[in-house]
Amino acid sequence: MGPKSDVSNYLTFNPAGFPPALQDHPHWLVANSKGKPVERSDVGNSKTNPEHWTNFETASRLALSESGLWPYMVLTNETRFTVFDIDFKPLRPEETQQAFRARIQRAAMAINRLRKAFPRRYESRSKSGRGYHIIVVGKFKGPGGKGKGDWSEVEIYTSVHGITLTGHISNGCSDIVVYSNRFIQGIRNSIKGSGRTTEDGDAAERPNQPVTAETQAVIQRLKEKNRLIPKLLAGEWEGHCYPSQSEADFSLACSIVEETANHEQQVEVFKNSGLYRCDRKMLLAFVAARKRVAEQSAAKPDMSENTDADEADDLVSPGFPLDCLPGIAREMAEELARVTTSQNLPIAVACVLGILSAALGAGLELSTGGERRTRGNLFILVIAESGTGKTEAYMLAAVPFEAAEAAAIDDFEKHTKPGLLAELRVAKAQAKKLEKAVAESKDGACPALESFRKAEQEIADLEKRIDATPRLRASDVTKEELAVTCRCRVGPPRC
């Protein structure tokens, strides 16, 4: 029998982090530090043989009785759960820093998308502390496994698989919530790069309508408007900041309506796009798009000859003073406005200012007169109608900020946390010796008592520092959830 692997750097099993819905799941094994099921007592090691499986109570008892074991949830065709596995793996041998940063960035963007898609979910840390498991109730059709493209750092499973769980809840998310199979199917198709689906999950058929020369000219003009429209025309909406295909339908319909007022031409363009699913969904998108375009046209000032010049000046709202932004920020805002579907400069500027403010945090302070001091960060509140490109602009602006957070987390897990865990083990060993000396002392003024108090305080401080994973942002949270997130932070919060 080979030497035992060192499990001191792994998160231990936390039985309190398993909600009743998971405990009631009937199929469990136990796994070692490599994530592989192992035989213990009457429990086997096969995730495909039901005779090897046990219940959560037994798996929990075995995991608690032996260091280096964790409960292993078996997923079957009858299982009602879908599991997402996202891992921020450390730098691989011969992997360049650029490739590593790109991989961490993909993982960060993927988990943020999943958190937005499933605001209520069960989310826990992996054994290494570098990965996350998200579990929801609902199933999808087709094979699971590793994602493609921007989803390459995500694995998704609903059957014939298993997952090692620690019970260490992340972001306070401990709910097991039911989502529709159709919704989860759409998420799965995005991750696996399977293209469009119907409501039943089967591939949709293109209508292949003939295109007139006039319609072809409209399509060509649309493609030249911005870089996303060609992707929408090809049906590639996943991974481009659209929460659902309906949002992508609406965005494309708005662009079409702005380009041509001919209803027959509008329908012809959309039916020959990759987004077309059925007439009903297409018409719903056009109804909303025509209303939006009409409202925007009505809101524009009347600049006819009868309009007084001074009155016209009053009606036109002043644009954002872009020249006031420093060079890099100005260029970033202009580029965001150019490449996003809505091409909305004020929203792009607000997103850039918000990210700059978050990056500054409380680190910059200016004297503004007398004893008054002002910090450099701002509170940005963006108010805009749905479909005007807020999410798309923000996600693009936040890419470097999120990458910095992911790199900070990885550095903490690889370089800082192992040292803190080692210090914690030494402190606990010292405290145990002092506790024994205090217990054996018959003198109430035992000199070891004060040392024991200091050792306990050191243990508490180390545990707090271990839990203080670098967090630069809090995502969409209530003030109560934000307080929980910031509770264990070391140093000032960023945003």
Claim to verify: residue 56 and residue 146 sit in the same structural domain: yes
Claim to verify: residue 250 and residue 334 sit in the same structural domain: no
**Closest by CA position to 141, among listed 88, 202, 195:** 202
pLDDT attached to residue 479: 59
Give residue 205's pLDDT band: very low, low, confident or very high (50, 70, 90). Answer: very low
Last residue of a domain, which of 192, 221, 244? 192
Residue 303, pLDDT above cutoff 60: no
Residue 14, pLDDT above cutoff 60: yes
Last residue of a domain, which of 281, 298, 315? 298
Claim to verify: residue 83 and residue 161 sit in the same structural domain: yes
Claim to verify: residue 152 and residue 217 sit in the same structural domain: no
Residue 411, pLDDT above cutoff 90: no
Residue 338, pLDDT above cutoff 60: yes
Q: Which domain holds residue 149?
A: 15-192
Residue 198, pLDDT above cutoff 50: no
85: buried, middle or exposed (CB in 10 Å: 19+, 13-18, 0-12)?
buried
Structural tokens at position 150: 């921007």
**1 lies in some domain:** no
Claim to verify: residue 383 and residue 411 sit in the same structural domain: no
Q: 73 has which bridge partners? A: 28, 163
Claim to verify: residue 406 and residue 391 sit in the same structural domain: no
**312 lies in some domain:** no
How far apart are the C-alpha atoms of 459 and 461, rounded to whole Å?
A: 5
How far apart are the C-alpha atoms of 169 and 125, rounded to whole Å?
A: 6
Number of domains in the chain: 4
Give residue 494's pLDDT band: very low, low, confident or very high (50, 70, 90). Answer: very low
Q: What are the Cα distances from residue 117, in Å, to 103, 108, 391, 410, 476?
A: 21, 14, 13, 24, 12
**494 lies in some domain:** no
Claim to verify: residue 20 and residue 159 sit in the same structural domain: yes
For the chain, the average pLDDT equals 79
How far apart are the C-alpha atoms of 451 and 435, rounded to whole Å?
A: 9
Residues of 105-125 as b/e, b for ≥16 C-beta within 10 angstroms? bbbbbbbebbbebbeebbbbb
How far apart are the C-alpha atoms of 368 and 339, rounded to whole Å?
A: 38
Claim to verify: residue 37 and residue 115 sit in the same structural domain: yes
Summarize the confidence of residues 170-178 as an average pLDDT: 83
Claim to verify: residue 158 and residue 61 sit in the same structural domain: yes
How far apart are the C-alpha atoms of 146 and 153, rounded to whole Å?
A: 7
**pTM of the prediction?**
0.43
How far apart are the C-alpha atoms of 272 and 266, rounded to whole Å?
A: 10
Claim to verify: residue 177 and residue 217 sit in the same structural domain: no
pLDDT attached to residue 493: 47
Single-letter amino acid, residue 246: S
**10 lies in some domain:** no
Give residue 93's pLDDT band: very low, low, confident or very high (50, 70, 90). Answer: confident
Summarize the confidence of residues 249-269 as an average pLDDT: 88
**318 lies in some domain:** no
Claim to verify: residue 93 and residue 155 sit in the same structural domain: yes
Claim to verify: residue 169 and residue 62 sit in the same structural domain: yes
Summarize the confidence of residues 326-344 as an average pLDDT: 77
How far apart are the C-alpha atoms of 466 and 84, rounded to whole Å?
A: 25
Summarize the confidence of residues 55-60 as an average pLDDT: 94
**205 lies in some domain:** no
Last residue of a domain, which of 342, 363, 395? 395
pLDDT attached to residue 83: 95
**321 lies in some domain:** no
pLDDT attached to residue 211: 66
**5 lies in some domain:** no
Phi-psi region of 315 (alpha: psi -120 to 50; beta: other; left: phi over 0): alpha
